[in-house]
C-alpha cells in the first residue's frame, strides 16, 4: 500500500513538473532573438537606456532562470516594443517582437481554464498608464504609415474613391499633433482599411491598420478619467463573468464574458488573458465540408482532338498530324493547411508524320502515352498554382524511307537509310517524348491556369469582396483536404463577440456537402454589418443626429442596385415606379438574433425605424421586434423547417409592451442559386410588404442550395438531414439527379404561385 502511494505521488509530481517545465521553457526563437538584441546593446552606447526602457532584466530572468514564465512580464516587454518609440523599427527589435508575440500566445494557451478567473486578480497589478510621449509615438507611427499608404495609392486609378472611402482629409487632420481624436471616425477607418480588396496581403494597408489600432488602443486608455481603476474594474467584472459562466454555461453568460474580453482587447490590456479566454471559450463557429466527387466534378472532361505537327526533332524537320485522346480529372490530396486539388491529364497521342533530314524522307506512325498533373492550393483567401509536371513515352513504327536518290543505287541507298533510322529510333523516340512532355505541359498548364483565373475571379468578386466590404469576413479561416473531402473551418467574430463555446457536432455521414453553423456566426456577422457599421457611419455623417440605438439603414433602391452590380443576371421583381421607396433602420444592438435549439430555429429582427410603410408605429423608446420560430421535421422528401403559427411582431420598450400584432414575414432560409441570389432582397421586400398589408405569407422553397451552370448536369443538392441542437444548425445535402418530372413540378408550382392573388397566397413551409 505504501509503495503504491509513493508511486502515485511521484507520478503526480512528475506530471506537474513536466507541465511547469513545458510552460517554463523559452522557445529557441525567443532565446536567439534576445541574444542578438543583448549582444547588440552591449556594443551600443544607448544600450543601458534601451534595457531600462524595455525592462529587459525581467525578461532575461524569465528566459534564463528555471522558473515558470509570467505572461505579464512578457506582455510588458512586448508592449514597449510596440510603443512606436523611434529606433524600434530596427530589424533586431522587430525579430524580438515577433518571437515574444508567438511565445505569449503559447503561454496564454497553456493556462488551464480553471485558472482564468484567478489570472484576472494576478493581472490587476500589470496596469501601465499611457503617457503623452507614448501617445505621440503611436500617433506619429500611424501618421507615417498613412503617408506611406497614400504614396502607394498615388498611382492607383481609384485613388479618389479610396480617399472618400477612408475619409482621407479627416484622417490627416485627426493624426496631426494636438488634434482632438474622433474615435468613431478612426474606428471606422480601421475597419475599412483592410476591407474589400487584397489589402490583407499588401504591406502598406496592413501596417497602417496595425499602427492605427495601437493608436486607438492607447487613446481609449488615455481618455478614461481613472484608467487604473477602470482597468481593475474590468478585470474584476471579467472574473465574475467567468465564474457565472462556469456555473451556467448559457449563451447570455458567454456574451457577457465576450463583452468584457472585448473591452480589454480594444485597449490592448492583459493580452495573455484575452488570448487565454479566447483559446478556451471561443472556437470556430462555421464548418463546411464537401465530398471529393462534388468538388472534382467540374474538373472532369474527355479530350479528343486533332492537331497539326510541325517541329524539329533530333535534327529532322517533322510535320504531319496527331490525334490526342485522353481524360482530365481532378483528385484531392491530403493537406492540413490548404485545399489541395491535383488535376490529372492522362491519354495517348496517335501521330502520322513525315520527317525530312539531308534529303531523306521518313514516314512514321507513333503512339505517345503521357500523364500530366498540376496542383492548385486554396487557403480560404486565394488560389495558388503549383508547377506542371508531365511524363511521356513514345513508340514509333517506320512505314517507309526514301533516301532521295534515283537510279540503280536508289534501293541500296534506301536500305542504308532504313537501317540508320532503326539505329536512331530510340534516340528519336526519346526526343519525341520530351517534346510531347513540353507540349502537354504547356497546353494542359494553360488550360488549368485559365480555369483557376476564372474560379478566383468568381470567388473574389461574388463572395470575398462582398464579405470584406460588409466587414464580416471571418477573423480566422482554415482550409484542409483529404482524398475524400475538403474542409473549411472559420471563426466569425470581432472584439466583444463570442465564438462557439464548444466544438461542432459530427458532420452528417455520407453527405455530398454539409454545413455546421453555430448561432454566434450569424449573430456576430449581423451585429457588424447591420448594427455597428451603421452606427459608426451615422456618427460621423455631418448633421446626423446621434442615436446609439440606430444601426444601419438599408434602402430598397440601394439594395437593388447593389445586387444588380454584383449579380447582373439576377431577376429582381418589378416595382411600381410611383410607389414610395422603403427604407429600414436596424437596431444597433442585436439587429438579428438566431437560436438553434431543440430542433427549432428562432429568428428575431430588431428594427429601429421604418420608412415607406403606412401606419407604422412610432418607436420613440424601443424597437419593433419580428420573431419567427421554425420547427425542423424529417419527412420522406427530406427535412422541412415548418413555421409555427404566424411570426410574432411586437413593439418592445424597457419594461413595457405597447404594440403587438401577428404579421407574416418571409425569412429566406435558403434556396440559394449562386447565379441569381435574389433572396437578400426578398427578405427586405417581404418585410416591407407585410408591414403594408398585414398578411401572413410563409413560402416553400424546394432546395436549400441549387447549383447552376456547368454543375446542372450533375444534379441538384437536396437537403438530406437537418438538426438544430445546442446552438448548432447542421445541414447535410445529397446529390439528386435532375429529371424532367422535377422541372415540370417546379414549373407547375411557379404557375400556381403566380396565379394566386395577394390576399389568397397559399400557406406553405420553408424547406
* d(C-alpha 87, C-alpha 75), whole Å: 20
DSSP for 467-482, written as a single string? HHHTT-S-SEEEEEE-
> Which of 281, 310, 325 is the C-terminal boundary of a domain?
281
For residue 575, CA distances in Å to 579, 610, 689, 750 come to: 8, 18, 12, 19
Please check whether residues 601 and 647 belong to one and the same domain.
yes
Q: What are phi and psi of 545, to 5 degrees?
A: -70, 145
Instruction: Provide mean pLDDT across the span 423-438.
Output: 90
* Statement: residue 667 has pLDDT above 80: no
* d(C-alpha 409, C-alpha 273), whole Å: 96
Instruction: Answer yes or no: is 127 within a domain.
Output: no
Q: How much is the pLDDT for 653?
A: 53
Please check whether residues 311 and 272 belong to one and the same domain.
no
8 A C-beta contact, residue 707 and residue 714: yes
Q: How much is the pLDDT for 593?
A: 87
Please check whether residues 294 and 277 belong to one and the same domain.
no
* d(C-alpha 402, C-alpha 395), whole Å: 21
Residue found by looking up cell 474542409 in the block: 487
Instruction: Answer yes or no: is 383 within a domain.
Output: yes
* d(C-alpha 608, C-alpha 222), whole Å: 33
CA atoms within 13 A on the CB side of 516: 24
DSSP strand pairing (476-481 vs 383-402): unpaired
Q: How much is the pLDDT for 296?
A: 86
| Average pLDDT in the chain | 78
Instruction: Answer yes or no: is 710 within a domain.
Output: yes
8 A C-beta contact, residue 731 and residue 719: yes
Angle formed at CA 545 by CA 539 and CA 550, multiple of 5 degrees: 70
Q: How much is the pLDDT for 235?
A: 93
**Hey, what's the cell of 505?**
457536432
Please check whether residues 342 and 449 belong to one and the same domain.
yes
Confidence of residue 479 (pLDDT cuts 50, 70, 90): very high
> Which of 281, 314, 348 is the C-terminal boundary of a domain?
281
Instruction: Answer yes or no: is 243 within a domain.
Output: yes
* d(C-alpha 715, C-alpha 736), whole Å: 5
* d(C-alpha 344, C-alpha 98), whole Å: 41
pLDDT tens track for 436-473: 999 999 988 888 888 888 887 777 776 776 676 666 77
Q: How much is the pLDDT for 718?
A: 78
Furthest-apart CA pair in the chain: how many Å? 118
Please check whether residues 139 and 174 belong to one and the same domain.
yes
Please check whether residues 583 and 722 belong to one and the same domain.
yes
DSSP 573: P
Q: What percent of the chain has pLDDT over 90?
A: 27
For residue 511, CA distances in Å to 288, 334, 601, 706 come to: 11, 19, 22, 15
In 224-333, the DSSP E strands lie at 286-291, 301-313, 316-333
Please check whether residues 97 and 164 belong to one and the same domain.
no
Instruction: Answer yes or no: is 126 within a domain.
Output: no
* Statement: residue 574 has pLDDT above 60: yes
Instruction: Answer yes or no: is 501 within a domain.
Output: no
Q: Which residues pair with 118 in a beta bridge?
A: none
Instruction: Provide mean pLDDT across the span 676-703.
Output: 42
Q: How much is the pLDDT for 766?
A: 29
* Statement: residue 23 has pLDDT above 90: no
**Range of lowest pLDDT (50-54, 234-238, 606-610):** 606-610
Instruction: Answer yes or no: is 506 within a domain.
Output: no
Residue 144 CB partners (closer than 8 Å, separation 6+): 211
pLDDT tens track for 378-400: 888 788 889 999 999 999 998 99
Q: How much is the pLDDT for 707?
A: 33
Please check whether residues 403 and 319 belong to one and the same domain.
yes
Confidence of residue 684 (pLDDT cuts 50, 70, 90): low
Q: How much is the pLDDT for 327?
A: 92
766: exposed, middle or buried (Cβ count in 10 Å: 0-12, 13-18, 19+): buried
* d(C-alpha 75, C-alpha 55), whole Å: 11
Please check whether residues 71 and 205 belong to one and the same domain.
no
Please check whether residues 571 and 710 belong to one and the same domain.
yes
Please check whether residues 675 and 731 belong to one and the same domain.
yes
Please tell me which residue, 382 or 749, carries the higher pLDDT value. 382
Confidence of residue 357 (pLDDT cuts 50, 70, 90): confident
**Hey, what's the cell of 318?**
517533322
* d(C-alpha 139, C-alpha 87), whole Å: 15
* Statement: residue 565 has pLDDT above 90: no
> Which of 248, 281, 314 is the C-terminal boundary of a domain?
281
8 A C-beta contact, residue 288 and residue 514: yes
Please tell me which residue, 42 or 676, carries the higher pLDDT value. 42
Confidence of residue 147 (pLDDT cuts 50, 70, 90): very high
* d(C-alpha 40, C-alpha 34), whole Å: 10
Range of the domain at 371: 290-464
Q: How much is the pLDDT for 264?
A: 94
Domain count, the chain: 4
Whether this prediction's pTM lies above 0.85 is answered by: no
Residue found by looking up cell 454584383 in the block: 566
* Statement: residue 299 has pLDDT above 70: yes
pLDDT tens track for 362-375: 899 999 999 999 99
Confidence of residue 553 (pLDDT cuts 50, 70, 90): confident
pLDDT tens track for 189-224: 887 887 655 666 788 888 999 999 999 999 999 999
Radius of gyration of the chain (CA): 33
Please check whether residues 563 and 680 belong to one and the same domain.
yes
**Range of lowest pLDDT (318-322, 369-373, 610-614):** 610-614
In 334-416, the DSSP E strands lie at 339-357, 360-378, 383-402
Instruction: Answer yes or no: is 732 within a domain.
Output: yes
**Hey, what's the cell of 628?**
419567427
Instruction: Provide mean pLDDT across the span 259-286.
Output: 92
Amino acid at each position: 500500500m505504501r509503495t503504491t502511494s509513493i508511486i502515485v505521488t511521484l507520478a503526480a509530481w512528475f506530471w506537474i513538473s513536466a507541465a511547469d517545465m513545458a510552460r517554463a521553457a523559452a522557445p529557441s526563437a525567443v532565446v536567439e532573438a534576445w541574444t542578438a538584441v543583448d549582444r547588440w546593446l552591449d556594443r551600443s552606447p544607448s544600450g543601458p537606456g534601451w534595457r531600462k526602457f524595455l525592462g529587459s532584466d525581467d525578461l532575461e530572468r524569465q528566459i534564463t532562470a528555471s522558473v515558470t514564465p509570467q505572461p505579464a512580464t512578457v506582455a510588458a516587454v512586448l508592449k514597449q516594443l510596440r510603443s512606436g518609440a523611434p529606433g524600434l523599427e530596427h530589424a533586431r527589435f522587430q525579430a524580438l517582437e515577433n518571437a515574444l508575440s508567438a511565445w505569449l500566445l503559447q503561454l496564454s494557451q497553456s493556462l488551464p481554464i480553471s485558472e482564468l478567473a484567478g489570472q484576472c486578480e494576478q493581472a490587476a497589478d500589470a496596469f501601465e498608464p499611457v503617457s503623452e510621449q507614448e501617445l505621440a509615438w503611436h500617433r506619429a507611427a500611424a501618421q507615417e504609415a498613412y503617408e506611406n499608404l497614400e504614396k502607394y495609392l498615388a498611382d492607383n486609378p481609384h485613388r479618389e474613391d479610396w480617399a472618400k472611402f477612408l475619409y482621407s482629409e479627416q484622417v490627416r487632420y485627426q493624426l496631426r499633433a494636438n488634434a482632438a481624436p474622433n474615435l468613431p471616425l478612426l474606428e471606422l477607418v480601421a475597419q475599412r482599411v483592410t476591407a474589400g480588396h487584397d489589402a490583407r496581403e499588401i504591406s502598406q494597408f496592413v501596417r497602417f491598420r496595425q499602427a492605427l489600432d495601437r493608436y486607438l488602443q492607447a487613446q481609449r486608455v488615455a481618455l478614461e478619467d481613472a484608467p487604473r481603476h477602470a482597468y481593475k474594474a474590468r478585470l474584476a467584472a471579467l472574473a465574475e463573468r467567468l465564474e457565472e459562466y462556469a456555473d451556467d454555461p448559457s449563451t447570455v453568460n458567454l456574451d457577457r464574458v465576450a463583452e468584457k474580453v472585448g473591452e480589454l482587447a480594444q485597449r490592448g490590456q492583459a493580452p495573455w488573458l484575452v488570448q487565454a479566454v479566447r483559446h478556451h471559450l471561443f472556437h470556430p463557429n462555421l464548418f463546411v465540408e464537401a465530398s471529393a466527387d462534388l468538388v472534382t466534378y467540374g474538373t472532369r472532361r474527355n479530350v479528343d482532338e486533332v492537331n497539326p505537327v510541325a517541329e524539329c526533332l533530333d535534327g529532322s524537320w517533322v510535320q504531319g498530324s496527331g490525334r490526342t485522346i485522353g481524360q482530365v480529372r481532378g483528385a484531392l490530396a491530403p493537406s492540413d493547411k490548404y485545399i489541395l486539388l491535383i488535376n490529372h491529364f492522362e491519354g495517348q497521342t496517335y501521330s502520322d508524320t513525315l520527317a525530312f533530314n539531308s534529303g531523306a524522307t521518313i514516314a512514321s506512325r507513333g503512339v505517345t502515352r503521357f500523364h500530366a498533373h498540376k496542383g492548385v492550393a486554396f487557403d480560404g483567401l486565394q488560389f495558388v498554382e503549383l508547377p506542371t509536371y508531365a511524363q511521356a513515352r513514345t513508340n514509333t513504327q517506320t512505314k517507309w524511307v526514301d533516301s532521295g536518290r534515283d537510279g540503280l543505287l536508289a534501293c541500296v541507298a534506301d536500305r542504308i537509310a532504313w537501317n540508320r533510322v532503326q539505329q536512331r529510333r530510340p534516340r528519336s523516340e526519346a526526343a519525341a517524348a520530351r517534346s510531347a512532355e513540353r507540349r502537354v505541359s504547356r497546353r494542359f498548364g494553360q488550360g488549368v491556369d485559365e480555369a483557376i483565373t476564372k474560379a478566383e475571379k468568381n470567388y473574389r468578386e461574388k463572395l470575398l469582396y462582398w464579405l470584406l466590404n460588409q466587414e464580416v469576413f471571418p477573423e480566422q479561416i482554415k482550409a484542409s483536404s483529404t482524398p475524400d473531402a475538403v474542409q473549411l473551418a472559420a471563426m466569425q467574430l470581432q472584439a466583444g463577440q463570442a465564438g462557439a463555446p464548444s466544438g461542432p457536432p459530427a458532420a452528417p455521414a455520407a453527405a455530398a456537402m454539409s454545413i455546421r453553423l453555430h448561432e454566434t456566426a450569424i449573430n456576430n456577422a449581423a451585429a457588424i454589418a447591420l448594427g455597428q457599421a451603421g452606427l459608426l457611419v451615422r456618427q460621423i455623417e455631418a448633421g446626423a443626429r446621434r442615436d446609439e440605438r440606430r444601426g444601419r439603414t438599408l434602402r430598397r433602391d440601394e439594395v437593388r442596385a447593389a445586387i444588380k452590380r454584383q449579380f447582373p443576371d439576377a431577376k429582381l421583381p418589378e416595382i411600381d415606379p410611383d410607389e414610395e421607396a422603403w427604407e429600414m433602420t436596424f437596431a444597433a444592438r442585436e439587429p438579428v438574433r438566431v437560436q438553434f435549439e431543440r430542433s427549432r430555429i428562432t429568428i428575431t429582427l430588431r428594427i429601429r425605424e421604418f420608412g415607406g410603410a403606412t401606419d407604422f408605429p412610432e418607436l420613440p423608446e424601443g424597437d419593433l421586434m419580428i420573431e419567427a420560430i421554425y420547427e425542423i421535421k424529417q419527412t420522406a422528401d427530406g427535412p422541412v423547417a415548418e413555421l409555427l403559427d404566424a411570426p410574432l411582431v411586437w413593439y418592445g420598450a424597457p419594461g413595457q409592451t405597447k404594440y403587438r400584432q401577428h404579421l407574416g414575414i418571409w425569412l429566406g432560409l435558403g434556396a440559394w442559386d449562386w447565379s441569381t441570389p435574389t433572396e437578400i432582397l426578398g427578405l427586405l421586400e417581404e418585410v416591407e410588404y407585410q408591414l403594408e398589408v398585414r398578411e401572413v405569407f410563409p413560402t416553400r422553397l424546394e432546395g436549400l442550395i441549387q447549383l447552376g451552370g456547368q454543375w446542372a448536369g450533375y444534379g441538384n443538392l437536396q437537403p438530406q438531414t437537418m438538426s438544430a441542437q445546442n446552438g448548432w444548425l447542421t445541414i447535410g445535402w445529397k446529390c439528386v439527379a435532375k429529371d424532367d418530372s422535377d422541372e415540370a413540378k417546379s414549373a407547375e408550382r411557379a404557375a400556381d404561385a403566380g396565379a394566386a392573388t395577394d390576399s389568397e397566397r397559399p400557406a406553405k413551409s420553408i424547406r
